[in-house]
Structure 1
Amino acid sequence: MSHVSANTPFVPLGIAVLTVSDTRGFAEDGSGDLLAERLTAAGHHLAERQIVPDDVYRLRAVVSAWVVRDDIQAILVNGGTGFTPRDTTPEALAPLFDKAIDGYGELFRQRSLATIGTSTIQSRAVAGLIDRTLVFAMPGSPKACATAWDDILVEQLDARTRPCNFVAMVRPQLAPCVSRQATSEQDAAQGATA
């Protein structure tokens, strides 16, 4: 049974973009520009955009502040996912995740294989759910950000994507999951007759 109804409408999300870099400002932030352009072209709202240095605690502070905001349902983090000593984005984010989205990193590396070959194993793209906010971290190159958005996120952040997507988790009142809703109704009916 499909989780998403065939007549589900598009649900715009508030999405924040965070670039992790010791060297880039907004004038040099092609990756942040790309993500901001792609998400707004898809019909979502750019809720905020920032650049932070490669620092575990500054990164956590920004993400934690955004997670508690009602106008942000997803955070796109680019940069800091490599293997240099300053690349600490996965270490900063992982302790904050209530649930890790392991398939995101796996799929990102699989998609990257076609363009960068076995160097894809050096990508530590990670994702997770913090409360009801989705967080997706990707490498900081514009090409990697395009791969993450175009090949994965544009569909998974669209309530119309079948059989399922992440919108029902962050905006359940606007994009309910049909099978979960049916299961909840069945459980409630059984509880009433018990």
Structure 2
Amino acid sequence: MASRALVLSVLLLLAADFSPAANPAVAQTVSVPGALDVNTNGSIQIPGVTVSPNGTVNGNGYSTDAEDGSVTVDGTTYFPNGTIVNADGQVITPTTNVDGSVSAGGFTVYPNGTVTSSDGTAVNPDGGVTFPGGLNISTGGGGGGVIQTPGFTVNPDGTVAVNQASPSTSKPAGSLASPARMVTSLLVLLVFLLVA
């Protein structure tokens, strides 16, 4: 039921228009009351979450660093090379698994840089995130900006393809106002997943 609400929320956001052209009075910040602010420096703020232009995400007790690939949860930082550091700077001795991955504190860091948590969420080396249940958000590499669920795919060009047994359909790119809407939809998905 929660996944249906997520998909519905994303589709509703895709149908709305948050582009500056549709809101000519907006000069510095694009705001959706109670939802998010898009600032002139490129950062995006949602209650409890800030996404910086370089891809760094902060909120709800965690942060990701787009430059070094580290993930910090409640003060503990997990680096792609397997190093784990406490909030006080102490290096945690992790367990090295047979497959070469390193585990500690409910997280596993794999040799390719993937970080997984005990609930099945994975942060991929390219910055993409895969959630239990089939939701995948690609933010880097060749699939930048793609949001995939078992039910639909949102492409970087703004098209939405419905994934079903029959041939998939898509909306033309012009019907989805702007790349800003893509970012908005992505962020709303992240907020729902963080709150859930």
Normalised-by-shorter TM-score class? under 0.3
Between the two structures, name the one with larger relative contact order (CA 8 Å, sep ≥ 6).
Answer: 1
**TM-score of the pair, normalised by structure 2:** 0.25
Larger relative strand fraction: 2
